Amino acid sequence: MEEFRFLDWKAYKDAKSLVKEIYSITRTFPQDFKYDLGSQINRSSTSVALNIAEGSGKNSDKDMGRFFDIAIGSTYETIAGLDMALDNQLISERKFIQLSEEFKSVARQLGGFKKRLRSKN
């Protein structure tokens, strides 16, 4: 399935798995956090996977790299949202650390992709 090559990428699979976990967590937020902070965390985590997919379909390495940059930025946004959730005792410190490590792994994978793209050119 070369046309949708991102489906085979570990970074995409990991990001997609994190989206599922994030939605499961934010579903438990109290009403006063669910639709503001919870929704923002959902959108930013989803943005990671979607930008990986969109970047994979670009015709130039420069364009692909730009979408990977956006995906990396979305990992930072998600971690910031999770940090706020931690401050408001919506998630445990253990869960925050676990998710931070998993998002860091995705960001590093994307950084590795970008490095290979630069060395190719």
The structural domains of the chain, with segments of one domain joined by +, span 17-120
Cα 121 from Cα 63, distance rounded (Å)? 13
Measured from the Cβ of residue 119, the count of other Cβ atoms closer than 10 Å reads 7
Identity at 118, one-letter amino acid code:
R
Instruction: Report CA 93 to chain centroid distance, whole Å.
Output: 19
- Cβ atoms of residues 107 and 115 within 8 Å: no
Which CATH number is 17-120 given?
Answer: 1.20.1440.60
Kindly report which listed range (35-39, 59-63, 116-120) carries the lowest average pLDDT score. 116-120
Average pLDDT across the chain, whole number:
94
Phi, psi dihedrals of residue 90, rounded to the nearest 5°: -90, -20
Q: With contact defined as beta carbons under 8 Å apart, do 76 and 106 qualify?
A: no
pLDDT tens for 61-84 read 889 999 999 999 999 999 999 999
pTM of the model: 0.92
Calculate mean pLDDT across residues 93-113.
97
